[in-house]
């Protein structure tokens, strides 16, 4: 069923507590934790607890949950004090775009200058 935990999914294991993570925020429906291989001084991942393979499929199936992920991204930026001068929210979608974990997640990157485009 859509949204159900997947046995072979790393982020479902983090949600279940079977894989440890440094959690910075958690609600009933989402969890935010530090990326294990940070690409910026502040690099936090925000995920829905429900399993969807990418952001678009999450938004199509559960738009309110997708909105909650975005809202939490803003809360993380406030917590990390990256709102000013700015931060980036990234959803890598598809292996060609760098997606390696197929459980929807937002990268919240901040704490350094972020050039655009990233290259
Ligand atoms: P993607 O490449 O799919 O957009 O992002 C997956 C992210 O998950 C990567 O930035 C990677 O560093 C991070 N990651 C992979 N394995 C783990 C883990 O076990 N714990 C944490 N906290 N992050 C992980
Ligand atoms: Zn999952």
Encoding tokens for residue 71? Answer: 């809202």
Give this prediction's pTM.
Answer: 0.97
- pLDDT at residue 91, rounded to an integer: 98
The torsion angles phi and psi of 95, rounded to 5 degrees, stand at -60, -35
> For residue 102, how far is its CA from the centre of ligand 1 (angstroms)?
10
Give residue limits of the domains in the chain.
10-110
Ligand nearest to the CA of 11: 2
- This model of the complex carries an ipTM of 0.99
- pLDDT at residue 22, rounded to an integer: 98
- State the Cα–Cα distance between residues 56 and 111, nearest whole angstrom: 27
Q: Residues lining ligand 1, CB < 6 A? A: 10, 19, 21, 33-37, 92, 98-101
Topology at the third CATH level for domain 10-110: HIT family, subunit A (3.30.428)
- pLDDT at residue 102, rounded to an integer: 98
Q: Confirm whether 105 is a catalytic residue.
A: yes
Q: What would the mean pLDDT of 65-92 be, rounded to a whole number?
A: 97
- pLDDT at residue 119, rounded to an integer: 63
- Please, which pLDDT band fits residue 112 given cuts at 50, 70 and 90? very high
Say which of 43, 103, 105, 107 is annotated catalytic: 105
- pLDDT at residue 1, rounded to an integer: 72
């Amino acid at each position: 069923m859509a949204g159900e935990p997947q046995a072979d999914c790393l982020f479902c294991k983090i949600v279940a507590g079977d894989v440890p993570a440094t959690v910075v925020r958690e609600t009933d429906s989402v969890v935010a934790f530090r990326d294990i291989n940070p690409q910026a001084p502040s690099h936090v991942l925000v995920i829905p607890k429900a399993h969807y393979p990418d952001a678009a499929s999450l938004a199509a199936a559960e738009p309110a949950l997708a909105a909650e992920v975005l809202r939490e991204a803003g809360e993380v930026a406030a917590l990390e004090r990256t709102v000013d001068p700015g931060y980036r929210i990234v959803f890598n979608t598809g292996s060609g775009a760098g997606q390696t974990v197929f459980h929807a997640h937002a990268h919240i990157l901040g704490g350094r200058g972020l050039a655009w485009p990233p290259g």
